[in-house]
């Protein structure tokens, strides 16, 4: 399974180095696919053996005049080949449009990056019913090569991110079943995943892994989630 940590705007470089070392030493003992996305200024030569380190964001350029952004050459300096695109915080707080997200997607696809592409609906859309919700989510697939071989999709309801609120397990299963028809890519669930709900979420049909924010900030907790995934796989 795929177990990914989005550290967002947390952890300085020194803390991130310790965190990744700890997570990687645990991940090595498992057969899970583990990803960590540190803050940009916390990137380093991490020398991981199992954990794949990725970028939370980058501008679709090699370099250039894009104040405050980083480009491909900054990722290449650390051998990064994985990127998160379309996270709800970038869509809703930073105002990234679907058009811009598609530009990013195409740029990093062309460079062969593994892309974790995030989708998800705000609460008012969810409350408008399944049809409205699926229309909204479908628009987030527009322009995206859903058959890209290095694609992973993460379904993250906006209202569940960092809030402690979550769809029911049945709702997650329903949505994932509908989304699986749109793309053969592995499909992660994200939004208030914690140690105590990891097992239930990973046991849902069509959930191929999790993308974890706040609960992943503790290396022991994140390692426990990796362990839970391993135990589920061992039983199969
Ligand atoms: P959360 O964040 O686990 O804190 O809800 C998930 C995410 O934004 O990927």
- The pair phi, psi for residue 212, each rounded to 5°, is -120, 135
Q: Centre a 10 Å sphere on the Cβ of residue 8 and count the other Cβ atoms it contains.
A: 17
Dihedral (C-alpha) 64, 70, 71, 76: value to the nearest 10 degrees?
A: 130
Q: Dmax over Cα atoms in the chain, in whole Å? A: 52
Question: For 74-128, how does the pLDDT look when each residue is reduced to its tens digit (9 = 90+)?
Answer: 999 999 999 999 999 999 999 999 999 999 999 999 999 999 999 999 999 999 9
Residue 214 in this model has a pLDDT that exceeds 90: yes
| 188 CA distance to ligand 1 middle (Å) | 12
| 157 CA distance to ligand 1 middle (Å) | 10
Residue 186 in this model has a pLDDT that exceeds 90: yes
Residue 20: predicted pLDDT = 98
Residue 164: predicted pLDDT = 86
Residue 78: predicted pLDDT = 96
Structure tokens at 64: 């250039």
The predicted model scores a pTM of: 0.97
| 176 CA distance to ligand 1 middle (Å) | 17
Q: What is the mean pLDDT of residues 192-201?
A: 97
Q: Find out whether the beta carbon of 213 lies less than 6 Å from any atom of ligand 1.
A: yes
Q: In sequence order, what DSSP letters do the residues of the chain get, joined into one string?
A: -EEEEE-TT---HHHHHHHHHHHHHHHTTS--EEEEE--GGG------SSPEE-BS---SSSS-S-TT---HHHHHTTT--EEEES-HHHHHTS---HHHHHHHHHHHHHTT-EEEEEE---HHHHHT-HHHHHHHHHHTTTT--TT-TTEEEEE--GGGTTTS----HHHHHHHHHHHHTT--S-EEEESS--HHHHHHHHTSTT--EEEESGGGGSHHHHHHHHHHHHHHHHH-
Residue 236: predicted pLDDT = 86
Beta-bridge partner residues of 193:
none
Give percent of the chain with pLDDT exceeding 90.
Answer: 98
Each domain of the chain, given as residue ranges in start order, spans 2-235
Residue 162: predicted pLDDT = 87
Nearest CA to ligand 1 atom 3: 213
Residue 35 in this model has a pLDDT that exceeds 90: yes
Fold of 2-235: TIM Barrel (3.20.20)
Q: What is the mean pLDDT of residues 164-176?
A: 95
Supply the residues annotated as catalytic: 87, 156
Residue 94: predicted pLDDT = 96
* pLDDT mean across residues, the chain: 97
Give percent of the chain with pLDDT exceeding 70.
Answer: 100
């Amino acid at each position: 399974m795929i177990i990914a940590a989005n550290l967002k705007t947390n952890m300085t470089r020194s803390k991130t180095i310790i965190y990744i070392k700890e997570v990687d030493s645990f991940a090595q003992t498992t057969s899970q696919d583990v990803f960590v996305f540190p803050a940009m200024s916390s990137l380093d030569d991490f020398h991981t053996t199992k954990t794949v380190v990725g970028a939370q964001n980058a501008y679709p350029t090699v370099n250039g005049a894009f104040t405050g952004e980083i480009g491909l050459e900054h990722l290449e300096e650390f051998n990064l080949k994985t990127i998160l695109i379309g996270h709800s915080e970038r869509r809703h707080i930073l105002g990234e449009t679907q058009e811009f997200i598609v530009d990013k997607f195409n740029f990093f696809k062309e460079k062969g990056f593994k892309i974790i592409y995030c989708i998800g609906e705000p609460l008012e859309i969810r409350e408008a019913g399944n049809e409205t919700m699926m229309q909204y989510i479908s628009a987030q697939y527009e322009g995206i090569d859903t058959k890209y071989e290095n694609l992973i999709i993460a379904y993250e309801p906006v209202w569940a991110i960092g809030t402690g609120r979550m769809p029911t397990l049945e709702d997650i299963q329903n949505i994932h079943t509908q989304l699986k028809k749109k793309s053969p890519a592995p499909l992660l669930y994200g939004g208030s995943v914690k140690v105590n709900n990891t097992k239930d979420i990973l046991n849902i049909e069509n959930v191929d892994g999790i993308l974890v924010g706040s609960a992943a900030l503790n290396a022991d907790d994140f390692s426990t989630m990796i362990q839970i995934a391993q135990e589920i796989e061992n039983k199969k």
